[in-house]
Amino acid sequence: MLLTNFERLFDPFLDFYEFPRRFRGRRPDFPPYNVWLSDDKAIITTELPGITPSDIDLSVVGKVVTLKGERKADELKEGESYHRRERWYGRFNKSIELPYNIESNGVKATFQKGILTIELPRAEAEKPKKIEIKTE
Amino acid sequence: MKDTSQELQKKEAETPAGIERTRDEKYYLPAVDIIEKSDSIVVVADVPGCDEKAVDITLEKNVLTINGLVSEGRIEGMRLALNEYGVGNYQRQFTLSDEIDREGIQAKVKNGVLTVILPKSSTAKTRKIAVVSE
């Protein structure tokens, strides 16, 4: 989509709607994310079954959220063997750029039932302001 | 890390041709590891979104069925802007051999991982047939 700076001036939410377009046709890196957006925050959810929360390293800089971690393979003892081995294991390191700056002090992350949920509030200075219209 | 192209896509569970499910929800096949130990067979399945209350395991005849119900992932008042994985229930079935001690089956769920321990029956453990020469 081609847009002039002039058009951009009138749609402050443009980045917001363009966000999913950036990922179209791309194979997601591990782990897959679902990203939810509203005017004042973003929520990222990702499935990391079997990982201990202390093994997850989450960092936020500006608009970018980075998640690092590892799921170790189970060690087999002697005499044990696999019939099937489908579950993934290994290290991961994934960054994602959100459409707006993040208030890093307000970031909350919870890990429940193997799902990591990261709540990322939008930087206060960037939140859309509601302007009251007065009648004279 | 292993090849991730397959692992990223959750596989949907199939139903026999022409038969539909009553619930209009997605069902995925959980990824599993099956480990044979000297005294048991251990099934480990990734079921993120399930706790011990949401997982149901049944053994009918020789078929072990794992069912996991996951509540809808929708977040009120927010728009799903990027969707890299699907959220749905889990279902998978395995045919077991006769040598499982049905009474001793144990299952637990921790951090979205289900572990089912299927102990081998004592007859199976010791069944060793002596071959004699004539």
Residue B109's DSSP bridge partners are B114
* Window from A9-23, B46-60, B70-84 with minimum mean pLDDT: A9-23
The dihedral formed by the CA atoms of A96, A101, A102 and A104, expressed in degrees to the nearest 10: 110
What pTM was estimated for this model as a whole? Answer: 0.78
With respect to residue B32, please indicate whether it lies within any of the assigned structural domains: yes
Task: Give the three-class secondary structure for B73.
Answer: coil
Domains of chain A listed by start with CATH number: 5-74+88-126 (2.60.40.790)
Q: Is A126 left (phi over 0), alpha (psi -120 to 50) or beta?
A: alpha
- Asked if residue B134 is part of any domain, the answer here is no
Under an 8 A CB cutoff, do B7 and A30 touch? yes
| Residue A2: C-alpha distances to residues A10, A15, A22, B101, B125 (Å) | 15, 13, 14, 67, 70
Shortest CA distance from B40: residue in chain A: A80
pLDDT on residue B5: 44
ipTM over 0.85: no
Per-residue confidence (pLDDT) for residue A109, from 0 to 100: 95
- Candidate from A36, A84, A90 with C-beta closest to B80: A36
Residue B7 pLDDT: 47
Report how many domains make up chain B. Answer: 1
Q: What is the CATH classification number for the domain harbouring B104?
A: 2.60.40.790
Confirm whether B18 is domain-assigned: no
| pLDDT single digits (tens) A29-86 | 778 899 999 988 999 999 999 998 888 999 999 999 999 999 888 888 888 999 989 8
B84/A20: higher pLDDT: B84
Q: Is residue B8 a contact partner of residue B31, using CB atoms and an 8 Å limit?
A: no
For residue A87, the surrounding DSSP H or E stretch is none
| Residue A34 to residue B4, Cβ atoms within 8 A | no
